[in-house]
Amino acid sequence: MNEMMEEFLKDTRQGLAGLEEKLRVFISAPSEELISLFLKAFQALKREARDLNLSKIESIADAALLVLDRIGAGAGEVTADNVALLKDCFSALHENLDALEKTGQEAPVPQADPNAQTAPRAETGSEPSRSETSSGAAAMSLNDVAALLVQLDAENLSGCRRLGETLQELAGSHANQDIANRLREAGSKLLALADSGGENPDAVLQEVASAIEDATQGEELEELAEALEPPEVIELTLPGDADLELMGEFVTESREFIAEAESALLSLEVDPDKMEAVNTVFRAFHTIKGTSGFLGLKPLTELAHHAESLLSKVRNREIHFSGGYADLALRSIDTLKGLIEQVDQATRGKAMVLPAGYQELLKLLKRADHERFPETMAEAAPDSMRVGDILVASQKADREKVDQVAAQQGDEPIGVALVRSKAASLTDVAKALRAQQRIAAGEKSSESTVRVRTERLDRLIDMVGELVIAQSMVAQDATLNAGTHHELGKKISHAGKIVRELQDLSMSMRMVPFRATFQKTARVVRDLARKSGKIVEFDVKGEDTEIDRNMVDHITDPLVHMVRNAVDHGIEPPDEREKLGKPRFGLISVKAFHSGGNVVVELSDDGRGLDREKIIQTALATGLIESDKGLADVDVYNLIFSPGFSTAAEVTDVSGRGVGLDVVKRNVDALRGRIEITSSPGVGCKFSLRLPLTLAITDGMQVKVGEEYYIVPTINIQVSFRPSSSALFTVAHRGELVMLRGELMAMFRLHRLFDVKGAVEDPTKGLLVVVGDGNRRCALLVDELLGQQQVVAKSLGRGLGKVQGISGGAILGDGKVGLILDTMELVSLARQVTSGPEKAELEPAEVTAAQG
């Protein structure tokens, strides 16, 4: 499957999920806005399906559009029939998407019931009827068209055109030329009406209705005549020079091969990867093909040849023996068995008749690479897992016969015994075995989950955190590090590995997906768009991305704030967008994914983007900045996070008061995360939130500064090095810088920042740890690196509050407390040091080598 098809499947599944949510809303509270949204979505799906040559999905989308036209013609009335039609369209789309994903081909369209007043269901297993086409009309019967025509308003020109196109497609595929001509003429009238309007459109619709009624009656007469015709019987004859004795031996041997193949196929239902069984079935088909070819029995040879090809693909692992492929092999065995019995009858002078369904089976075998077949047995299966009970419940076997066979089966599997005694067919037994497996899987899955109070889960994770601390204390004990207890050291190391695995497992138990959070923001987009008179589509990706449950509540409010701003400030009104050459509907996208031990949430829109000049003017007017000279885009955009900052011309009930984005920044900072903005005028804006997976555990590098210990998050460390004196500089009014590989960056002496005594003063005698993300980084002066370890992060408590440069604390292995550095805040301070005009105008006279 190519990348374009994979992208189509992914996007379509996500789109359907959103549409199904909106369908539930529409059923209870119908609106023209939702009808418009559905029409737009199915029109887009139809175009994409046509581009990818997915005729059946295109036809289903077309059927949905016709149903929506029917609802629109009824002034938005939602009837039970209309709802059933739309739900059938969704079911049909899911069937075809599943078929595309599994086989690379769409599911076959079933024969339409001419008396049914419902939309087509994409069930599988039957060929399309002659009244079906590969385009929009494939999913429509004449009764469906007539039902839509009754509710069609002559002023609905788009509906007239779509119905006219459908009639033209039906005419192009109809076998009866007289009916085809009537449909073609009716379609032409509707298309002409859509193009020019006409003087008397109601009369045109009446003529079209009469033509469709005549065509419908013609179809019913044809089907009645076909129903009265007796089924075709194809008689076969043995070759004139046939050796009856050889024929008899062939029948005997073939029965033995068929019996072995039946047993092997049943075992493959339980274990599809059992190659010994695959070889047994392949050998049976291969031998029957060779011998029947020698004896001139062409029907057996042809069937065995194609069945052998199917098993050859299984042997070569080109296809997986399950589902439709298994059914094909079973049907082949049943049909071969019937043909062999016919040969036996022919050797006794009786007529030899080709079994019913032979030609259809050959067609399916030839298309085995992309055929898909239904598995409906599980729907009828009871809770019991016994094969016999499943067969009886699905009315494929008689209870009395099943009980008789079960009483006499001995060591033979019940499935094989049922087939040998002819109490059930091989195909039905195989489906029952598959149903049994699915039931068993369902029972196992239901037994594998249990509800746990979140308080207990939190307590468990806290205790595991304490266990990590205790294990770290033992591992760093001075007695152990003396090197005199090697065996004890190995045991403690093994215990440490188990503790780490337990820690990872316990943390994963508290991870939850973003789905619920994204659904809440979707509702915000819908409500605000309606209130502001804008048309906004909300696209979600990565809703299954997981994050610590304790962080979800903290991230929801920032997301809602940003979504409100995107709708109110970012997305333009429909008329304005149209003038700018944009679609009338705006797009807001939210995406979540894992990146480098963090969770990234991106919120973007295709609206105006941030107005850089307006932000600067507001910042100058409010005194946030004195000059915009030397300010990079990122610094300008970050001004919107200042308390009370707002560029809105007027205050509304949605926004404009300057309250919101400062709260967003505060919440993200509290989560030890950061937020970045990229914007392009007239194109759109993107907010990126980068958050840790969990607040409880931190992978950190322990460093020493004087007599104090600090933890630097490993994820933020880029490199550590000992600088030379020539790489150190002091810049007037800015501070100290260090040169690394041709780049100047700010240097912070942690002992000065945190007032630590007795630390290394000369950078050339200590170590510089470079932290940051991407191009924004700074260097931290430390005395030495002590090693990497996992620590349980703790808050500093209300008494200390927020300490600049510190995000929390942790208990170290020796029982001391180490402070966890907030590297992103330090990088932010560094940007203030290195982004001013002095950096751009740096002159040698202003620079001196740093001393002590």
In this structure, the answer to whether residues 113 and 167 fall within a common structural domain is yes
In this structure, the answer to whether residues 528 and 662 fall within a common structural domain is yes
What is the spatial distance between Cα 588 and Cα 311, in angstroms, rounded to a whole number? 50
For the cut 70, the answer to whether the pLDDT of residue 89 exceeds it is yes
Domain that holds residue 465: 454-510
Q: Residue 686 — very low, low, confident or very high, per pLDDT cuts 50/70/90?
A: very high
> What contacts 349, CB < 8 A, 6 or more positions away?
none
pLDDT, one tens digit per residue, over 485-540 is: 778 888 888 888 888 888 778 878 888 888 878 877 887 887 788 788 888 888 88
What is the spatial distance between Cα 471 and Cα 494, in angstroms, rounded to a whole number? 11
pLDDT, one tens digit per residue, over 635-672 is: 888 888 887 777 665 545 445 434 467 778 888 877 77
Tokens at 616, concatenated: 């600067």
Percent of the chain's residues with pLDDT above 90: 4
Identify whether the C-beta of residue 77 lies closer than 8 Å to the C-beta of residue 58: no
Domain edge (last residue) among 475, 490, 510 = 510
In this structure, the answer to whether residues 516 and 504 fall within a common structural domain is no
Q: Residue 136 — very low, low, confident or very high, per pLDDT cuts 50/70/90?
A: very low
Q: Which amino acid is at 308?
A: E
Which of the pair, 492 or 4, is modelled with greater confidence? 492
In this structure, the answer to whether residues 506 and 526 fall within a common structural domain is no
Is residue 851 a part of any domain in this protein? no
Is residue 435 a part of any domain in this protein? yes
For the cut 60, the answer to whether the pLDDT of residue 1 exceeds it is no
What is the spatial distance between Cα 461 and Cα 464, in angstroms, rounded to a whole number? 5
In this structure, the answer to whether residues 688 and 727 fall within a common structural domain is no
The arithmetic mean of pLDDT across residues 474-494, rounded, is 77
CATH number of the domain at 484, please: 1.10.287
Tokens at 432, concatenated: 């029952």
Q: Which of 160-169, 282-291, 393-402, 524-533 has the lowest mean pLDDT?
A: 393-402
Q: Which amino acid is at 438?
A: R
HEC secondary structure over 458-503? HHHHHHHHHHHHHHHHHHCCHHHHCCCCHHHHHHHHHHHHHHHHHH
Domain edge (last residue) among 692, 718, 752 = 692
Domain edge (last residue) among 655, 675, 692 = 692
Q: Which amino acid is at 844?
A: P
Is residue 163 a part of any domain in this protein? yes
In this structure, the answer to whether residues 679 and 754 fall within a common structural domain is no
Identify whether the C-beta of residue 698 lies closer than 8 Å to the C-beta of residue 790: yes
By CB atoms closer than 10 A (0-12, 13-18, 19+), residue 605 is: buried
What pLDDT, on a 0 to 100 scale, did the predictor assign at position 546? 85
In this structure, the answer to whether residues 355 and 392 fall within a common structural domain is yes
Which of the pair, 91 or 139, is modelled with greater confidence? 91
What is the spatial distance between Cα 573 and Cα 583, in angstroms, rounded to a whole number? 11
**Do β-strands 743-749 and 776-782 pair in parallel, antiparallel, or remain unpaired?**
parallel
Percent of the chain's residues with pLDDT above 70: 74
CATH number of the domain at 341, please: 1.20.120.160
Is residue 737 a part of any domain in this protein? yes
DSSP 848: B
Tokens at 388, concatenated: 């016999």
In this structure, the answer to whether residues 664 and 803 fall within a common structural domain is no
Q: Which amino acid is at 64?
A: A
Residue 672, number of CB atoms within 10 A of its CB? 22
What is the spatial distance between Cα 506 and Cα 713, in angstroms, rounded to a whole number? 21
Using alpha carbons, list the distances in angstroms from residue 66 to 35, 150, 152, 171, 575: 12, 12, 10, 18, 28
Edge-to-edge, what's the strand order for the sheet holding 806-811? Answer: 784-792, 697-705, 708-713, 817-821, 806-811
Q: What residues form DSSP beta bridges with 141? A: none
Using alpha carbons, list the distances in angstroms from residue 110 to 60, 89, 169, 373: 13, 14, 18, 11
What pLDDT, on a 0 to 100 scale, did the predictor assign at position 385? 55
For the cut 60, the answer to whether the pLDDT of residue 114 exceeds it is no
What pLDDT, on a 0 to 100 scale, did the predictor assign at position 589? 92
What pLDDT, on a 0 to 100 scale, did the predictor assign at position 229? 43
Q: Which amino acid is at 327?
A: D
**Do β-strands 806-811 and 511-513 pair in parallel, antiparallel, or remain unpaired?**
unpaired
Is residue 449 a part of any domain in this protein? no
For the cut 90, the answer to whether the pLDDT of residue 422 exceeds it is no
What is the spatial distance between Cα 563 and Cα 604, in angstroms, rounded to a whole number? 9
CATH number of the domain at 741, please: 2.40.50.180
Tokens at 560, concatenated: 């809602």
What is the spatial distance between Cα 587 and Cα 567, in angstroms, rounded to a whole number? 9
Edge-to-edge, what's the strand order for the sheet holding 586-595? Answer: 536-541, 586-595, 598-605, 684-692, 674-680
Q: What angle do CA 97, 101, 107 make, to 5 degrees?
A: 50
Using alpha carbons, list the distances in angstroms from residue 281 to 271, 294, 724: 14, 20, 76
Is residue 211 a part of any domain in this protein? yes
What pLDDT, on a 0 to 100 scale, did the predictor assign at position 844? 37
In this structure, the answer to whether residues 821 and 687 fall within a common structural domain is no
Is residue 169 a part of any domain in this protein? yes
DSSP 296: T
Identify whether the C-beta of residue 471 lies closer than 8 Å to the C-beta of residue 496: yes
**Do β-strands 586-595 and 735-740 pair in parallel, antiparallel, or remain unpaired?**
unpaired
What is the spatial distance between Cα 470 and Cα 501, in angstroms, rounded to a whole number? 15
Nearest-CA neighbor of 69 among 134, 165, 5?
165
What pLDDT, on a 0 to 100 scale, did the predictor assign at position 605? 93
Distance spanning both ends of the chain, measured CA to CA: 64
Q: What is the CA radius of gyration of the chain?
A: 37
Tokens at 583, concatenated: 């679609």
CATH number of the domain at 685, please: 3.30.565.10
Tokens at 504, concatenated: 């990872």
Nearest-CA neighbor of 415 among 255, 284, 277, 264?
264
Buried b (16+ CB within 10 A) or exposed e, 558-582: bbbbbbbbbbbbbbbebeebeeeeb
Phi-psi region of 697 (alpha: psi -120 to 50; beta: other; left: phi over 0): beta
What is the spatial distance between Cα 213 and Cα 225, in angstroms, rounded to a whole number? 19
> Which residue matches tokens 């002409």?
192
The arithmetic mean of pLDDT across residues 374-399, rounded, is 57
> What contacts 219, CB < 8 A, 6 or more positions away?
114, 131, 142, 176, 179
What pLDDT, on a 0 to 100 scale, did the predictor assign at position 606? 92
The arithmetic mean of pLDDT across residues 307-328, rounded, is 77
Using alpha carbons, list the distances in angstroms from residue 429 to 327, 395, 415, 465, 468: 11, 12, 6, 53, 54
What pLDDT, on a 0 to 100 scale, did the predictor assign at position 77? 56
| DSSP output for 12-23 | HHHHHHHHHHHH
User: What sign for the dihedral angle of Cα 265, 271, 272, 273?
Assistant: negative
Tokens at 136, concatenated: 């929009």
In this structure, the answer to whether residues 211 and 300 fall within a common structural domain is no
What pLDDT, on a 0 to 100 scale, did the predictor assign at position 326? 76
**Total structural domains within the chain:** 5
For the cut 80, the answer to whether the pLDDT of residue 233 exceeds it is no
In this structure, the answer to whether residues 517 and 485 fall within a common structural domain is no
In this structure, the answer to whether residues 711 and 688 fall within a common structural domain is no
Q: What angle do CA 675, 680, 685 make, to 5 degrees?
A: 40
What is the spatial distance between Cα 552 and Cα 573, in angstroms, rounded to a whole number? 32
Is residue 339 a part of any domain in this protein? yes
What pLDDT, on a 0 to 100 scale, did the predictor assign at position 81? 67
